[in-house]
A and B are shown apart, each in its own frame.
Chain A
Amino acid sequence: DARVTQTPRDKVTEMGQEVTMRCQPILGHNTVFWYRQTMMQGLELLAYFRNRAPLDDSGMPKDRFSAEMPDATLATLKIQPSEPRDSAVYFCASAQQGNAEAFFGQGTRLTVV
């Protein structure tokens, strides 16, 4: 059963600490999206990659957030330093180019205290 895997599922960290979230896309999918979900803003697109190349990260705060795809099986989203306003659920989704159906992971719930 192919699925997008995100780790960790939950993360509590102190303000100022570095946070790294990981995503394993579905094998064969060449597009990876990062979304953030909050009560106030809902679901927002932060960044996405195609064939491991970043195509758009305009939704991401540049000063503290970074996203990478070291290889086709791993995408990372890093926050350094973290702040309480970063508390949210971060979703990774993957899709096959030409197929609009994006498959979502179960998310990483981040709490910054």
Chain B
Amino acid sequence: AQSVTQPDIHITVSEGASLELRCNYSYGATPYLFWYVQSPGQGLQLLLKYFSGDTLVQGIKGFEAEFKRSQSSFNLRKPSVHWSDAAEYFCAVGEWGGADGLTFGKGTHLIIQP
């Protein structure tokens, strides 16, 4: 069965500092990987996705993620965070491109310090 682990429940970063959110997955075949962001009281918005090809994928809002098969990881990065990036971030894995639904990690709560 597929699973996703986000080892950090909370992360605090100073505004302007770089960010890396960790995600590890367990999946038998080639995974389809996603990062979503959820602001308080809102639904989930897709930041980026990886299906195949270049292992470094660019997303919206200046985010990027790198797929590392050897480490079963898909970490999310941003070179300089803004206060508006404070939110909950979810990593997810799906088969068939997620067409049959996604398995989500428990999320990482990002706090931005002024």
Q: Which A residues contact B (CB, under 8 angstroms)?
A: 4, 31, 33, 42-43, 45, 48, 55-56, 91, 93, 95, 97-107
Contacts and interface: CB of A to CB of B under 8 A. Distances in A.
From DSSP, what is the main secondary structure of chain B's interface residues? Answer: mixed
Contact of B43 (A45, A48, A104): A104
A42 B107 contact: yes
B98 A100 contact: yes
- Interface residues of B toward A: which range? 20 to 34
Given A42-B104, A42-B106, A48-B101, A100 B94 contact: yes
Interface string B90-104: 100010011111111
Contact of A45 (B44, B49, B90, B102): B102
Contacts of A103: 46
B51 interface: yes
